Chain A
Amino acid sequence: MRIRTAGVIAICAVALVGTAACGSSKDETTSDAPSAAAATGELVIWADDKRSAALKPFAEKFGTENGVTVKVQAISKDQQTTFLTASQQGSGPDVVVGAHDWIGNLVQNGAIDPVQLSDEQKSGIAANAIKAVTFNGQTYGVPYATENLGLIRNTELAPEAPATVEALVASAKKLKADKKVSELLCLQVGQNGDAYHAYPFYSSAGGYLFGTNAAGDYDAKDLGVGKPESVEAFKKLSALGEKGDGALKRSITPENSIATFTSKKCAYLVSGPWAVTDVKKANLKYDISAVPGFEGGKEATPFLGVQTFYVAAKGKNKALAQEFVTNYVTTPELAVALYNAEPRPPALTAALDQVKGADADLQKWVDAGKNAVPLPAIPEMAAIWDPFGKAEAAVIGGADAEKTVTAAGTTISGSIK
């Protein structure tokens, strides 16, 4: 009897936990009731690790000024997917911070709301940053920082900024012949290519990804990969590749490109503002200029990435989120603090003016990105990255450009439908 009672109790305890798990698992998927926290006026912000640390003091200030509690939560990995899943379940934040090329996917999942900026606020933000966060004629977020690729060169080895790709290769070849460097150019390719870093050269050689419609929006039906222009562009990449000049190599990967530059094995590095911290640490004399284009070709246009504050469509406190994003993020102090957390040029003109005196690189990055095109935010862009990168890697490795690009174009249009 005693043994049996003990067993019953033990099993009851197990069952209890089971019921709890059962109850909570159902609760998670269905509960949409306002939590107790929301009743006191709470704003939840999601950002990555670095930015959430920088945001905290400002969030607290906003909270005390307005008599609400503000929570900043760091999401360290897969922010976009995490946000989408959470907001679908009704457990997402009110405000989320992320890259502007999420917009297409977030909009098609109904996860973010448009923001209404006044003309005055819009004029205070860099024009191309506003353009980047505009999707189907609607502004979907408030930009606070921009980033684009540029050419970083070691001024001890290469005092002059090359005007063309050909000049760059010629100068690098001379340095290599003099045994001053072992690599011509540090531009990350990797085993499976890197469409983001290849794009400036691709665009200069005449290639494009998506055409634009009358309103200036990207048109997914007009796919540029696989078109004759793209074949020509890939032929130029091929000429720079392993079987050609050897300026582009698959052995230069995202992991080693910056390190190879800082260890003085190459004189030129194509990278963004994130590389500067390492370059400074290596005590190199460096300068930043725009990525050069091919001789007689078009201008090389890098992609413009814009870091953005979004209002979550399924947030519990949308009015407050709108207030924070449209009327508070647009003040320069916050942009300066975020710049201090990670040195990228602020999108707010007033904030850029404030910090560029102390950091000469900023204006150079902005100049290098003068003709940058916003990274397409349309959902179809997701279909580009992988096939484009692989085609790039294959061509650089010596594969036939025409065959490779045509196949990549077929793959991409197949997954766009």
Chain B
Amino acid sequence: MTTKLGGPARRALPVTEPAPSEPRPQQKNTGLAGQFAKVLLLGLSVAIAIWAAFPLIAEEHWIGLAVLVAATAALLYIYLSPRHIPAKYLFPGTLFLVIFQLFPVLYTASTAFTNFGDGHRGSKEDAIVAIQTSSVTRVPGSTEYALSIATEGDPATGPIVFLITDPATKAVSIGDAGGLTPAGAVTVTSSGKVTAAEGYTVLNAGQASVRSQEITDFTVPTAGGAIRSAGLSRAYEGKAGRAYDAATDSITDTTSGKTWKADESLGSFVAADGERLVQGWKVGVGLDNFTRVLTNDSISGPFLKTLIWNFAFAIGSTGFTFILGLFIALALHSAKVRGRNFYRILLVLPYAMPAFAMLLVWRDMFNTDFGLINNLFGTDVDWFGGTASARIAVILVQLWLGYPYMFLVSTGALQAIPGELLDATKVDGAGVWQSFKSVTLPLLMIPLTPLLISSFAFNFNNFNAIWLTTEGAPFPADNTTNGATDLLITYTYRLAFGGSGAQYGFAAAISIFIFLIVAVVSTISFRRTRQLEEVYS
């Protein structure tokens, strides 16, 4: 470990190592190279921190900046001071833990308290901008102008003006923040585009596109509204239909006079009659998402039923694959079987296939009229149409996908059991079954129990196994949200993303509930495993 990590430092050493009797120069050399590398790496860390600081300052993200400064200061302090040896080793790991584990968990948890989702993704400012921009319509019957963009000064920095050509008369006007004024000497093409104007520099598309934002925001006030650009070569007279008033914190429709007042608890602009503008913003909603999970009938009603099936599915998938895998492993463990390796390779094949594709293939094999299974057995079972048959089908698929894994780990564990123990049982007169039950199985369970628990936890949330086969079917005719093979994860996915677009806040709240369930189950299982180990060890 140390040698490997110490690579760069060692390479900087002189090729001929001094004799062990002269330890001092060696230490000095290592120290120098080490110091050099240390300074270099710390310098780089600081450089990166400074680079990361600029966007934070630009965004006025002071908390982020404070965290960055504190982390960098801590880094420098720990590595530049000769003390704090344990901290030198702990700091990087802690940093990674915070970034890759704690931060996502906290982010998910904090999302659960917001209405983050479709229609409520951005800030209130974003929503106001979107409402105003999307309300600009062409003044009915107004002229469509040809547009050229020009400036009085430098193409990159000079103030922008619009050169506007009336398509009928080819008369050119100069438009700026003060309004329209007739232009002097200009050269106009047949399409109405101005190629040269006295006193102005006409921008080409490349130059104009650099100043895209300015051009988009540029308006020339007119009596009926304002002239705006539609791209770089056309302009139209448009009028904003809705305006935001900061004093009353509301949006007003300029034609109908209807107002929508900002509701900070909903993150929407709401009119007196309850109508909401579609563009909303992200706000904190407290425990709303959690109470929704607990109080909504369509969630709490079928919850218990789904939970029971979820346990049955996870236990069934894990249990059956384990029994089958162990059985085959035992059969092939016997030295009497010829071509054992050939069989083993054959058996591992399903494990080598991409589960994704295999699930889809299995789904088609269970098709009532065209599926392989019904055709092969001459049956007419509506596999995914009946509750029992659909459940059997998904567990069968899991069995096929999962047994090679169990077979592999069981084979490994079996080979680790010393043969003397089994010989001893024979000497003592135990039968095959008894020696399996009393010696092999207990010894197998010690390494395999943690794997079974993790397999259970995986299958408990095995989204693909259901989503790519039955999608939760069959559904009762009067309830389209909760199917017979739905796991909690597929069911909640449908709730959070199937109904009205993506509702990340709600989904985060549900995922916290699922986490609690899995955590409780895993904790209990691991407790029991410890007891198991104590018994057999």
Residues of A bordering B, CB below 8 Å: 1-16, 18-27, 30-33, 38-43, 65-68, 81, 84, 88, 104-105, 107-110, 113-116, 118-119, 136-138, 183, 191-192, 249-253, 255-256, 260, 313, 316-320, 322-327, 379-380, 382-383, 385-387, 390-391, 393-395, 397, 399-400, 403-404, 406-408, 411, 414-417
Contacts and interface: CB of A to CB of B under 8 A. Distances in A.
Nearest to A385: B498
Contact of B2 (A6, A136, A138, A416): A6
A22 B211 CA distance: 33
B209 A43 contact: yes
Contact of A12 (B45, B71, B133, B472): B45
**Which of A27, A32, A119 has the largest count of B CB atoms less than 10 A from its CB?**
A27
24 contacts: A1-B30, A8-B34, A11-B92, A18-B96, A21-B100, A23-B68, A26-B68, A30-B55, A31-B59, A40-B206, A41-B207, A67-B206, A88-B121, A104-B278, A113-B133, A192-B471, A256-B364, A313-B133, A322-B230, A323-B232, A326-B230, A387-B480, A393-B473, A406-B478
Given A116-B138, A411-B298, A22 B68 contact: yes
Interface residues on B, range: 35 or more
Interface stretch (B36-44, B179-187, B345-353, B511-519): B36-44
Given A6-B2, A317-B209, A319-B208, 11 more contacts: A5-B30, A16-B44, A19-B72, A26-B64, A66-B205, A116-B230, A138-B137, A250-B385, A326-B234, A386-B498, A407-B480
Interface of B is mostly: helix
B238 A313 contact: no
Contacts of A397: 382, 385
Interface of A is mostly: helix
B137 A33 contact: no
B75 A19 contact: yes
Interface stretch (B3-11, B336-344, B414-422, B445-453): B3-11
B442 interface: no
Interface of B: 2, 5-6, 8-10, 26-27, 30-31, 34-35, 37-38, 41-42, 44-45, 48-49, 51-52, 54-56, 58-59, 61, 64, 68, 71-72, 75, 79, 85, 88-89, 91-92, 95-96, 99-100, 103, 118-119, 121-122, 126-127, 129-130, 133-138, 144, 204-213, 215-216, 228-234, 236, 238, 278-280, 298, 364, 367-371, 382, 384-385, 470-475, 477-481, 494, 498-502
Contact of B238 (A41, A116, A251): A116
Contact of B232 (A2, A105, A136, A320): A320
Given A6-B6, A32-B59, A84-B121, A68 B475 contact: no
B370 A251 contact: yes
Contacts of A399: 477
B122 A27 contact: no
Given A313-B130, A379-B500, A322 B231 contact: yes
B386 to A, nearest CB: 10
A382 B499 contact: yes
B2 A7 contact: yes
Contacts of B129: 110
B209 A319 contact: yes
B480 A382 contact: no
Nearest to A88: B121
Contacts of A395: 477
A192 B473 contact: yes
Nearest to B53: A23
Contacts of A38: 210
Contacts of B38: 5, 8-9, 12
A5 B9 contact: yes
A32 B61 CA distance: 12
Given A7-B88, A18-B92, A110-B129, A116 B208 contact: no
Nearest to B131: A110
A397 B477 CA distance: 10
A108 B279 contact: yes
B45 A16 contact: yes
A400 B42 CA distance: 72
B209 A3 contact: no
A322 B229 contact: yes
B334 to A, nearest CB: 43
Given A387-B481, A403-B478, A323 B367 contact: no
Contacts of B475: 192, 390, 393-394
**Which of B121, B127, B279 has the largest count of A CB atoms less than 10 A from its CB?**
B121
A107 B367 CA distance: 40
A18 B99 contact: yes
Contacts of B208: 319-320
B53 to A, nearest CB: 8
A30 B59 CA distance: 6
B68 to A, nearest CB: 7
Contacts of B229: 319, 322
Nearest to B478: A407
Contact of B279 (A10, A25, A110, A411): A110
A327 B370 CA distance: 50
Contacts of A386: 480, 494, 498-499
A66 B234 CA distance: 15
Contacts of B231: 319-320, 322-327
Nearest to B475: A390
Given A118-B144, A192-B471, A319 B216 contact: yes
**Which of A136, A390, A400, A416 has the largest count of B CB atoms less than 10 A from its CB?**
A390
A411 B537 CA distance: 56
Contacts of A108: 118-119, 278-280
Nearest to A18: B95
A309 to B, nearest CB: 12
A195 to B, nearest CB: 11
Nearest to B472: A192
Nearest to A31: B55
Contacts of A256: 364, 367, 370
A16 B41 contact: yes
A240 to B, nearest CB: 16
Contacts of A252: 369
A6 B480 CA distance: 62
A123 to B, nearest CB: 13
B428 to A, nearest CB: 52
Contacts of A416: 500
Contacts of B121: 84, 88, 109-110
A304 to B, nearest CB: 22
Contacts of B228: 116
A251 B498 CA distance: 23
B212 A6 contact: no
Given A108-B278, A118-B144, A15 B134 contact: no
A163 to B, nearest CB: 28
Contacts of A9: 5-6, 8-9, 34, 37-38, 41
Contacts of A119: 144
B99 A107 contact: no
Chain A to chain B: the 6 pairs with minimum beta-carbon distance, closest first: A23-B52, A110-B130, A6-B6, A67-B206, A323-B231, A5-B34
